Amino acid sequence: MATHQITYCPAMPAFSILKTEPHLSKVQWPVSATFEADGAHGTGIAFGDYSRMQTNTRKLCGIRRLPTPTWAMDDAMLRNVLIRFMEERAMGAKNKKWRTQFKGPGRWRERLERAKTRIMETRAQKIIVLDRFCEEYVTVKQGTDRKRIKQLESEIETLDTYLRTTKNDGGAAILAAIVCLYYRTCLDSVGVGMELGLKSPHVRQILYRMNKVAESLGYPVHSRAWGPKKSGNVKPE
């Protein structure tokens, strides 16, 4: 009697006849549990807790016109760009004397701490300036000088954002979060701003400036025909 070998193929959706069959993803829901060898493991959130929570949905950015720059995906390059950005923020981009210090491998911690210290030292003076602008704004608000009122509003917002983002570590964590959320998590500038409490134009300005810093370090950066001086709207790579 002849025998025939039977091969069992896994079930597949009939794309040519039916719609794609639904499937379960590995996304963990707020109220869920997983069963492993040592027992069940949950998130610690009950349905009663979840009913009092707020749910936010973030759409990922679609396909971008230019590829993601290499420095944003490489930890070592990102560290170098972030430290140089912090140094330029602390000591000024045109002042190159500070670049002669702390050279050599393994000195990046000292460079970062120096930039943080310098930024934290300048916060006291900026707070004084902010208070002076606020006092002037209250006085000018009662008059009719709309041009000065608009200038003060812009200055106050800029200083307030600077002081808020440099409060703990000079802004290093915020900078790293912007790059990771935008390039590695694929959020757009609006989504990044909502996650970090920033405005989307500020997020785009930071990314544009970090790309310019990366370019000055010799890292490959895809150029654009526009810029902040031409369009008035800063966009990242």
Q: 13-41: per-residue pLDDT in tens?
A: 544 444 544 444 455 577 777 777 777 77
Domain annotation covers residue 140? yes
Exposure b/e, 113-135, CB count within 10 A at least 16 = b: ebbbebbeeeeeebeeebeebee
pLDDT at 206: 92
What average pLDDT does this structure show over 195-206? 90
Report the chain's mean pLDDT, rounded to a whole number.
78
Domain annotation covers residue 30? no
Domain annotation covers residue 218? yes
pLDDT at 53: 76
* 117: pLDDT strictly greater than 80: yes
pLDDT at 142: 85
pLDDT at 229: 46
pLDDT at 2: 67
Domain annotation covers residue 24? no
Domain annotation covers residue 23? no
- Ranges of H-type helices in the chain: 47-51, 70-73, 75-91, 108-141, 146-165, 172-179, 189-196, 200-216, 228-231
Domain annotation covers residue 76? yes
Domain annotation covers residue 21? no
* 100: pLDDT strictly greater than 70: no
pLDDT at 17: 46
How many domains does the chain divide into? Answer: 1
Name the band, by pLDDT with cuts 50, 70 and 90, for residue 65. confident
pLDDT at 185: 87
Name the band, by pLDDT with cuts 50, 70 and 90, for residue 63. low
* 9: pLDDT strictly greater than 50: yes
Full residue range of the structural domain in which residue 223 is found: 70-231
Domain annotation covers residue 2? no
Neighbours of 203 (CB within 10 A): 26
* 187: pLDDT strictly greater than 90: no
Name the band, by pLDDT with cuts 50, 70 and 90, for residue 211. very high
